[in-house]
Amino acid sequence: MSQKELDTNVILSTYSLGKKKLFYPILTENTFDDSVPFNPDLGSGSMNTHRVSENISLLYINLKPEHDLLFEVVNQGGKLNFSFVLESADLPLFIDNINNLTIRGGENWLSGPTNYSAARLYGENPVTTFTVWVDPAMILDSLKNDNPDNIRLFEKIQDGDKGDSFVHTDLVDPEMRTIIIQILNCPYNHRLKNMFLEGKALELIALRLDQLFRNERARLSNKDLNPKDIDKMFYVRELLLKNISDPLSLSELAIKATTNTNKLKTMFKKVFGQSVFSFIREKRLEYARSLLLENDKNISEIAYVSGY
């Protein structure tokens, strides 16, 4: 592997204490169909990588570690990181000088270019993640005629936040999960495959950036509200997304958010621009769609699982 390749591509290593590092470079353009098995000493599972273009690389990990592991990105190639945790218990992250961040299954994180990032995987706990690395210049060029506030926020992602690396966490919503399933089940080969994967990767990035921009707008446009009340509404949204097939009642949500039902309904609509029930209906439909793509259940079973 040449130094140029090391400088311009995402390089991964996985190791446990006392064992040799195992390097998995994302260099090959046509490996996404073939799973790369992990060393049996590390655990059971595999990884799929695909370098779609000079601007976009993909990584899918499905692993059950034998014991605690550290999964490192030792070279991110100046790219942005969009990671989606589909299954995992607590997953501590270490991103440059940020070492107090823990993420779980059903959550995602977005980070700017970093010098070092790693995740600790606990033994016997299955982990399934999907990651897109993308050149920030490609995204910034697409945003050049966008809302100035969105451009400023993206530049913060790219350049860091007050000297620290930018990291933002949120939830994997059903629509994001659907796109990931479509990527993993790409029906094409050769050039059509790359076109399909690039389009779906950009669609996933657009959803994640829209999630970030919407959250920021919700906070900026509601400066008249108590910041603690806004945080409560984001907590309510989190509770709804994590229990979308069997959502909590308004009274249960109000209790958990330490507010009352009338205030909850009013503030949720003010912060997110739709009622609680409209939000549930929209996300249930997205969840049902993802189940249709992911499972071999029939329509009746999927309707039952998704809460219909």
pLDDT at residue number 155? 87
Q: Are strands 80-87 and 91-95 parallel, antiparallel or unpaired?
A: unpaired
Tens digit of each residue's pLDDT, the chain (308 residues): 333 333 334 455 555 544 444 444 443 344 455 566 777 777 788 888 888 888 998 889 888 888 788 787 765 678 899 999 998 888 888 888 787 789 888 899 999 888 788 888 888 889 999 999 999 999 988 888 888 888 888 888 888 766 678 889 998 988 899 899 999 988 898 889 989 999 999 999 999 999 999 888 888 788 788 888 988 998 998 888 888 878 889 999 999 999 999 999 999 998 888 899 998 888 888 877 777 766 666 666 656 555 55
pLDDT at residue number 113? 86
User: Residue 157, Cβ neighbours under 10 Å: how many?
Assistant: 22
Phi and psi (nearest 5°) for 8? Answer: -115, 0
Domains and their CATH numbers in the chain? 3-219 (2.60.120.10), 222-305 (1.10.10.60)
DSSP-assigned letter for residue 76: -
pLDDT at residue number 27? 37
Whole-number Å distance between alpha carbons of 154 and 107? 20
**Residues facing 171 on adjacent strands:** 107
Handedness of CA 41, 42, 47, 52 (dihedral sign): negative
Cβ-contact 66, 190 below 8 angstroms: no
pLDDT at residue number 23? 47
Cβ-contact 74, 6 below 8 angstroms: no
DSSP letters spanning 82-122: EEEEEE-S-EEEEETTEEEEEE-TTEEEEE---S-EEEEE-
pLDDT at residue number 296? 63
pLDDT at residue number 98? 80
